């Protein structure tokens, strides 16, 4: 049962992490424009 739980929870956590990083990346890229 724990294995199934891990197989579902790890990807859910990773998707959340991806979304968070995506937001940070595009914020940084917007600032990059100001630098150049």
Partner 1 sequence: MNKISLIIYLLPLFYIVYKTRWVKSMESFAVADRKMSTALLFASISATFIGPGYSLGFIGQGYHWGFLYLMFGAAYAVQTILVGIYIAPRLRETSSRSGNDKSIVTLGGFFKAKTGKTYIQCIIGSICLLVCIGFSAVMLHAGGTLIHTVWKWNMTFGMGIIALVTAIYTMSGGLKASIYTDVFQFVFFVGLISLAVLLILFEMDTDISFDFSTTASILWEKGMNTYSIWEILSLLFMFFLGETLIPPYATRTFSSKTPSVAKKAFIFSGIFSFFWFGFMLLIGIFAYMFLGAQELEGDIVLFSLVEYSHPFIQNLVGLSIFCIVMSSLDSLFNAAAIIACNDLYIPEAGEEKKLQISRIAVLVIMVIAFISALSINSIVGGLLQVYSFWAPSVLPSLFYVIWVRSPKFQAVVVAIIVGFLTVLYAFLFAMKDYKDMLLIAGFIMGILSLFIMHNIKYKK
Residue 34 CB, nearest approach to partner 1 (Å): 11
Of residues 1-36, which lie at the interface with partner 1 (CB under 8 A)?
A: 2-4, 6-8, 10-15, 17-22, 24-25, 28-29, 32-33
Tokens describing residue 21: 């990083």
Using CB under 8 A as the binding criterion, the count of chain residues that bind partner 1 stands at 24
DSSP assignment string, 6-23: HHHHHHHHHHHHHHHHHH
Task: Please give the Cα distance from 25 to 36 (Å, whole number).
Answer: 17
Residues that bind partner 1 (CB under 8 A): 2-4, 6-8, 10-15, 17-22, 24-25, 28-29, 32-33
């Amino acid at each position: 049962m724990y294995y199934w739980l891990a197989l579902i929870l790890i990807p859910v956590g990773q998707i959340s992490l991806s979304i968070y990083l995506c937001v940070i990346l595009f914020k940084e890229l917007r600032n990059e424009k100001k630098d150049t």
